């Protein structure tokens, strides 16, 4: 009887244990293990832990992912440096509190290396996505402190509540490391970390080199990212004291999950989960533009992506070794040397504060005392407030050159005071007063003219509105072209009310904005200038020529919007921007090897062939250039911008115009001289573009130390001397692809021949690029120019431009 009672008690104990085990799906203890195919899930079911294989890889890893995401986005990897090669892995928690990953031979692949032994340990996946090891009491209650946690060992993802920074006492660092690739979580080349040299700042590094700075914390946000602000969904937390320096962000009111990921390409990307579409919506990408990259411009130079060139010296500084052909600067130097005792400070606003690696700071000094302290130290080059959350307080001082400065949009709330010689300050103030007087006079004249003309302008506006409504433009487009029409409210919401942060680029007829529709679909919105006859004509051209075109190498027009005086075109979004963004940039050009460039060349050729031959009307683009070739997520080229396009019907093959439009360096001789354009005009532009892709150099402004030919002349000269390989962009020269490269150059030279009759049509171009047939020798290209350089001591008026074709660049009136 006693034995039977013991068996009954044991049975109930076992059943109770099984119930507890089956309900505690977020926990593992020392008596349990997780095999490949099994998972534990956080109590809110947002996160899961188990085994996975990334992308196309067959290796197995232990990781944590978003449980409700169909693609199971991974946020943490345990054994990222040592994968399992099969599904025999087992994750265990030993009785001292250490997590271990074992292979089929019971060899330890990965271990949590818990610092201290504990009694009754459990592993638990928290709702935050943090995997922790805790000690429990004899009654099973968990103690509050963690013996070990995955948040202390981040992978490539920062989750809400997770620290990014360093513990100054223990030396513990919390930083993100990118994956090697989407198929390989091995630590890649990029890290996002706090640089604690000088005043701490958040830095994205490529190896040991700085790639981007978020800037230093100013009490509200990081100084270099005013566009990344707190909102109703999350808030920031920054801690800096004697023990630790770290940053984190926290969700508010159970907002949808967020994540910050450092991608294998070195992009810091913030996203939010959208439960309606079961997908992630991208909220911010950093670096966001060319000026975000570290030290795009040199010392004492500010970078502005809306200007050309992007780099310009700060007031009181002049260019040092300016490279006009690159549009960049090696930095700036003071116009007037410092005197130390007689110096003062000039206030600058709206700038990203310089690199703080060589800086000093104090939280207990007022801004006025900071000024005096900097003024007394001849090595102090600038000062600013440390904290702007409640006025201006604290002191931040820079020593040495001021580097990595950018003009910020939205406007920064911070000011920086840069040291200047007294005479320089007087000169700057006098210049500002002079400019102010000129502006006042101009304002008076403009007000008078506007007041006199306001009645006429209003009348013209009313007549224009009446004509637009009478034509019933919206119905015409919808019925004749079967084109989707978007509401203005939809477009405004998608582009954040046409925020400057969403601008992708600007052109002669308006701006292009990035937008995100409610379903998460990304779009590009071209907003034409209001009250512009050119803008209206371009709108009609774009709609009429591209609405019914369907080809994988042409950008797709999704629809349009006509609201009052607004004319909006909605396109598919191209995440990799335009071709010139890559081929003319020293760093980004390395991402395009020959195989990728050749694919792009072929794609452009097929797109032009469709326009010239396979579309309903023969269409001449008239503005084919690197900036008008967009690249999708897979780097496939798509021809865009049909605002200048013209179509031919019936037996038409060419036409004349008195208004030559297009872009310097791409226009054919017959178009420039006689205003004659045809499909052969596009062939010439394609040839120029092909040679630019192969060489990595622009045709216009091309400079060579051995001669004064442009790119076309340089390429033809070398090709005729059997030195065609010298044209090829040096980093992509490859003996295995040399024949393909030389053949492409040959085809490009055939396309830019002076006479349009001697140029091949695009069907023949596509055939020549894809075959190995013998090609005819190219004749001299159009605009084969040689320039006479200015002799030392001669005046600019003596400069002349020679052209074998008797045509000079000076006659071009293109855009």
Q: How far is CA 148 from CA 81, 272, 287, in A?
A: 19, 28, 33
Residues 6+ apart with CB under 8 A from 576: 582, 630, 631, 632, 633, 635
Q: Which residues are annotated as a binding site for ATP?
A: 526
Q: Contacts from 82-89 at CB under 8 Å and sequence distance 24+?
A: 82/109, 82/110, 83/57, 83/59, 84/51, 84/59, 84/60, 84/109, 85/58, 85/59, 85/60, 86/60, 87/36, 87/37, 87/51, 87/60, 88/36, 89/35, 89/36, 89/51, 89/60, 89/62
Report the alpha-carbon angle 324-329-500, nearest 5.
100
Q: Show the CA angle centred on residue 687, arms to residues 685 and 693, nearest 5°.
A: 105
The Cα–Cα gap between 766 and 752 comes to 15
Of the candidates 151, 160, 149, 166, the residue with the CA atom closest to the CA atom of residue 113: 149
CB 393 within 8 A of CB 386: yes
Return the structure tokens found at 99.
């997590």
372 sits in the region (left: phi over 0; alpha: psi -120 to 50; else beta) called alpha
Under a CB-based contact definition with an 8 Å cutoff, are residues 561 and 576 in contact?
no
Q: Which residues are annotated as a binding site?
A: 526
632 three-state secondary structure: coil
Joined tokens for residue 632: 């999708």
How many other CB atoms are there within 10 angstroms of residue 659's CB atom? 6
> Integer distance in angstroms from the first to the last C-alpha of the chain?
102
Radius of gyration of the chain (CA): 32
Identify which of 457, 455, 480, 477 has the alpha carbon closest to the alpha carbon of residue 468. Answer: 477
CA 177 to mean position of chain CA atoms: 19
Give 155's contacts (C-beta < 8 A, 6+ positions apart).
Answer: 74, 75, 76, 77, 80, 176, 177, 179, 185
Q: How far apart are CA 292 and CA 553, in angstroms?
A: 30
From 86, 91, 74, 6, select the one nearest 40 (Cα to Cα): 91
The Cβ of residue 144 has, within 10 Å, a number of other Cβ atoms equal to 6
Residue-by-residue DSSP string for 738-807: HHHHHHHHHHHHHHTBSSGGGSPPHHHHHHHHHS----PPPPPBTT-EEEPPPPTT--GGG--EEETTS-
Tokens at 750, concatenated: 């055939």
Q: Which of 290, 336, 303 is nearest to 404 (CA)?
A: 303
- Strand order of the β-sheet with 33-35 is 33-35, 90-93, 99-102, 108-111
Alpha-carbon torsion, ordered 282, 288, 289, 292, to 10 deg: -170
Separation CA 144–CA 142 (nearest Å):
6
Is residue 811 helix, strand or coil? Answer: helix
CA–CA separation, 381 and 316 (whole Å): 13
User: Which residues carry out catalysis?
Assistant: 623
Contact assessment for residue 499 and residue 493, using Cβ atoms and an 8 Å cutoff: no
Phi, psi at 605, each rounded to 5°: -60, -45
Half-sphere exposure of 571 (CA within 13 A, CB side): 29
Find residue 365's DSSP bridge partners.
Answer: none
């Amino acid at each position: 009887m006693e034995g039977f009672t013991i068996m009954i008690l044991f049975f109930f104990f076992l059943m109770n244990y099984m119930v507890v085990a089956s309900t505690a799906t977020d926990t593992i203890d020392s008596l349990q293990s997780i095999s490949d195919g099994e998972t534990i899930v956080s109590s809110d079911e947002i996160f899961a832990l188990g085994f996975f294989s990334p992308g196309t890889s067959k290796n197995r890893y232990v990781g944590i992912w978003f449980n409700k995401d169909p693609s199971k986005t991974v946020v943490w990897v345990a054994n990222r440096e040592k994968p399992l090669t099969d599904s025999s892995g087992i994750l265990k928690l030993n009785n001292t509190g250490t997590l271990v990953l074992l292979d089929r031979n019971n060899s330890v692949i990965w271990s949590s290396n818990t610092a201290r032994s504990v009694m009754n340990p459990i592993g638990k996946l928290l709702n935050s996505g943090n995997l922790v090891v805790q000690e429990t009491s004899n009654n099973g209650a968990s103690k509050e402190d963690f013996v070990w946690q995955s948040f202390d060992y981040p992978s490539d993802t920062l989750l809400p509540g997770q620290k990014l920074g360093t513990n100054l006492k223990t030396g513990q660092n919390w930083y993100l490391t990118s994956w090697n690739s989407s198929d390989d979580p091995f630590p890649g080349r990029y890290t996002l970390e706090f640089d604690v040299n000088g005043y701490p700042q958040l830095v994205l590094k490529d190896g040991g080199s700085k790639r981007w700075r978020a800037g230093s914390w100013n009490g509200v946000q990081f100084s270099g990212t005013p566009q990344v602000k707190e909102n109703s969904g999350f808030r920031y937390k920054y801690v800096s004291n004697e023990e630790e320096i770290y940053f984190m962000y926290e969700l508010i009111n159970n907002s949808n999950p967020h994540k910050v990921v450092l991608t294998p390409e070195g992009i810091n990307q913030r996203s939010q989960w959208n439960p309606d579409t079961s997908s992630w919506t991208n909220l911010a990408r950093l670096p966001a533009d060319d000026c975000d990259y570290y030290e795009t411009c040199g010392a004492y130079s500010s970078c502005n992506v809306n200007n050309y060139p992007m780099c310009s010296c700060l007031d009181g500084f002049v260019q040092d070794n300016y490279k006009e052909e690159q549009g960049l600067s090696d930095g700036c130097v003071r116009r007037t040397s410092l005197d130390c005792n007689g110096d003062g400070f000039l206030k600058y606003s709206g700038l990203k504060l310089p690199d703080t690696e060589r800086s000093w700071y104090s939280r207990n000094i007022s801004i006025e005392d900071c000024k005096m302290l900097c003024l007394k130290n001849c090595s102090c080059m600038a000062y600013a407030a440390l904290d702007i959350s409640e006025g201006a307080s604290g002191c931040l001082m820079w020593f040495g050159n001021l580097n990595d400065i950018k003009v910020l949009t939205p406007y920064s709330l911070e000011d920086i005071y840069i040291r200047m010689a007294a005479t320089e300050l007087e000169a700057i103030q006098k210049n500002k007063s002079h400019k102010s007087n000129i502006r006042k006079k101009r304002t008076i004249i403009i007000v008078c003219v506007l007041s006199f003309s306001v009645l006429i302008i209003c009348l013209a506006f009313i007549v224009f509105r009446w004509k637009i409504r009478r034509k019933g433009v919206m119905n015409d487009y919808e019925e004749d072209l079967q084109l989707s029409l978007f509401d203005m409210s939809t477009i405004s919401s998608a582009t954040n009310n046409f925020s400057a942060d969403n601008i992708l680029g600007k052109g002669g007829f308006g701006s292009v904005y990035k937008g995100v529709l409610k379903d998460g679909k990304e779009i590009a919105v071209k907003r034409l200038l209001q009250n512009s006859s050119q803008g209206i004509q371009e709108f009609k051209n774009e709609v009429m020529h591209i609405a019914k075109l369907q080809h994988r190498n042409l950008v797709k027009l999704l629809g349009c919007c006509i609201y009052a005086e607004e004319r909006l075109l909605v396109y598919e979004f191209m995440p990799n921007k335009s071709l010139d963004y890559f081929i003319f940039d020293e760093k980004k050009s390395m991402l395009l090897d020959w195989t990728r460039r050749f694919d792009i060349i072929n794609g452009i050729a097929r797109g032009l062939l469709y326009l010239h031959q396979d579309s309903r009307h023969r269409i001449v683009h008239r503005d084919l250039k690197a900036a008008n070739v967009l690249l999708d997520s897979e780097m496939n080229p798509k021809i865009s911008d049909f605002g200048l396009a013209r179509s031919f019907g019936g037996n038409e093959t060419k036409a004349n115009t008195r208004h030559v439009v297009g872009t310097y360096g791409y226009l054919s001789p017959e178009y420039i001289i006689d205003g004659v354009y045809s499909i052969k005009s596009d062939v010439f532009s394609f040839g120029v573009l092909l040679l630019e892709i192969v060489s990595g150099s622009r045709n216009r402004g091309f400079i060579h130390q051995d001669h004064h030919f442009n790119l076309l002349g340089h390429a033809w000269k070398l090709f005729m001397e059997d030195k065609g390989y010298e044209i090829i962009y040096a980093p992509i020269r490859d003996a295995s692809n040399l024949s393909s490269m030389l053949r492409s150059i040959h085809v490009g030279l055939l396309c830019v021949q002076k006479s349009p009759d001697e140029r091949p049509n695009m069907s023949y171009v596509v055939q020549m690029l894809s075959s190995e047939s013998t090609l005819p020798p190219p004749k001299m290209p159009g605009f084969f120019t040689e320039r006479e350089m200015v002799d030392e001591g001669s005046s600019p008026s003596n400069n002349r431009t020679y052209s074998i074709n008797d045509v000079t660049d000076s006659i071009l009136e293109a855009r």
